[in-house]
Amino acid sequence: MVTGREHLLTSHRARGRAMVLGLLLILPQLGAAASADTAIESWVTLRQQPTESLEQQASVRTGAAQVRARLMLADRALNQSAAHATAYLQQAEAGLSSADARTIAGLLRCQLEHRRGEASAAQSCGIARQPVPGDDFVQAYWHWTRAYLAYREGEHEQSLSEATQVTTLAERLGDLDLIAQGHNMIGLHYSTRLRPRMALPHFDAAWQASEGMQYPAVRHMVQLNLGSNYTYLGRPGEALELFREANEAQAPNIYPTRQLIAQSMVAQAQAAIGETEGAEAQLRAVIDTVRDKVLPDALTFGYMGLGKVQLAEGNPQGALESFDKILVATGQVLPEGVEHSRIQLMVVPYARALRQSGDTQGAIDLLNAVIAAIPAQQPDQLLVNAYSELATACTAAGDTRGATRARAQSALLQQQLWDESFHYRVARLNSRIDAQRQTEAAASARERAEVQAQADSREAQLRWQAWLILALLVASGLLFYSRRIQQRLALAERAVSDRLEEQVLRRTADLEDEMAQRLQVEADRRALQIQLAEAEKLRAFGQMSAGVAHDFNNLLTVVSLAADQLRTRDEEHLTQQDRQSLDSIEEASESGRRITNGLMAYARKQPMRPQAVRLDDYVRSTLPLFTNTLGEHFEIRTALAACTVRVDPGQLTTAILNLLLNAREAMAGGGVVDLTVSVVKEQAWLAVRDPGCGMAEDARTRAVEPFFTTKTAGEGTGLGLSMVQGFSKQSGGDLDIESIAGQGTQVTIKLPLHAGITVSESGEVLSEPEPVGELPILIVEDRSALRKVLQKTLVQLGHQVRTAEDAADALAQIEREGPPRLLISDIVMPGTLNGPALADHLQARYPGLAVLLISGYSDDYRGGHSFLRKPFSAEDLERAIARALQPESDGPSPESTAARASA
pLDDT digits over 146-177, tens only? 988 888 777 878 888 998 998 988 888 888 88
Has residue 136 got a pLDDT over 90?
no
pLDDT digits over 229-253, tens only? 777 777 777 777 777 776 665 544 5
Q: Supply the pLDDT for residue 361.
A: 92
Q: Supply the pLDDT for residue 395.
A: 92
How many Å apart are CA 352 and CA 366, to the nearest integer? 10
pLDDT digits over 284-314, tens only? 888 888 887 777 777 888 898 899 899 989 9
Q: Supply the pLDDT for residue 434.
A: 62
Question: Residue 891's pLDDT band (boundaries 50, 70, 90)?
Answer: very low
Give CA separation, 432 vs 205, 265, 418, 795, in Å.
10, 31, 21, 101
Q: Are strands 734-740 and 744-752 parallel, antiparallel or unpaired?
A: antiparallel
* Whether the Cβ atoms of residue 824 and residue 779 lie closer than 8 Å to each other: yes
pLDDT digits over 518-536, tens only? 888 888 888 778 867 765 7
Comparison of pLDDT for 708 and 445, the residue scoring more: 445
- Least confidently predicted of 516-520, 719-723, 849-853: 719-723
* Greatest alpha-carbon span in the chain: 129
Has residue 769 got a pLDDT over 80?
no
% of the chain residues with pLDDT over 70: 80
Candidate ranges 695-699, 705-709, 895-899; pick with highest mean pLDDT: 695-699
pLDDT digits over 40-69, tens only? 678 888 888 888 888 888 888 888 888 988
Question: Residue 562's pLDDT band (boundaries 50, 70, 90)?
Answer: confident
Comparing CA positions, the residue from 281, 330, 285, 288 lying closest to residue 310 is 281
Q: Supply the pLDDT for residue 209.
A: 82
Question: Residue 571's pLDDT band (boundaries 50, 70, 90)?
Answer: low
- Average pLDDT on 181-203 reads 79
* Whether the Cβ atoms of residue 769 and residue 879 lie closer than 8 Å to each other: yes
- Average pLDDT on 134-144 reads 88
* Whether the Cβ atoms of residue 704 and residue 725 lie closer than 8 Å to each other: yes
* Whether the Cβ atoms of residue 228 and residue 247 lie closer than 8 Å to each other: no
- Average pLDDT on 847-866 reads 78
Q: Is 744 exposed, middle or buried (0-12, 13-18, 19+ CB in 10 A)?
A: buried
Q: Are strands 611-614 and 644-647 parallel, antiparallel or unpaired?
A: antiparallel
Give CA separation, 416 vs 19, 192, 371, 376, 427, in Å.
85, 19, 16, 11, 17
Question: Residue 801's pLDDT band (boundaries 50, 70, 90)?
Answer: very high
Question: Residue 227's pLDDT band (boundaries 50, 70, 90)?
Answer: confident
- Average pLDDT on 434-454 reads 74
How many Å apart are CA 238 and CA 196, to the nearest integer? 15
Amino acid letter, residue 754: H
Note if the pTM is more than 0.75. no
Residue 562 C-alpha from the chain's centroid: 45
How many Å apart are CA 599 and CA 586, to the nearest integer? 20
Comparison of pLDDT for 439 and 348, the residue scoring more: 348
Q: Supply the pLDDT for residue 417.
A: 67
pLDDT digits over 330-355, tens only? 888 888 877 777 787 888 899 999 99
Candidate ranges 186-195, 435-444, 792-801; pick with highest mean pLDDT: 792-801
DSSP state, 759? B
Q: Supply the pLDDT for residue 767.
A: 46
- Average pLDDT on 316-339 reads 87
How many Å apart are CA 366 and CA 442, to the nearest integer? 54
Comparison of pLDDT for 280 and 857, the residue scoring more: 280
Q: Supply the pLDDT for residue 746.
A: 92
pLDDT digits over 582-627, tens only? 778 877 777 677 666 655 554 544 446 688 899 999 999 888 888 8
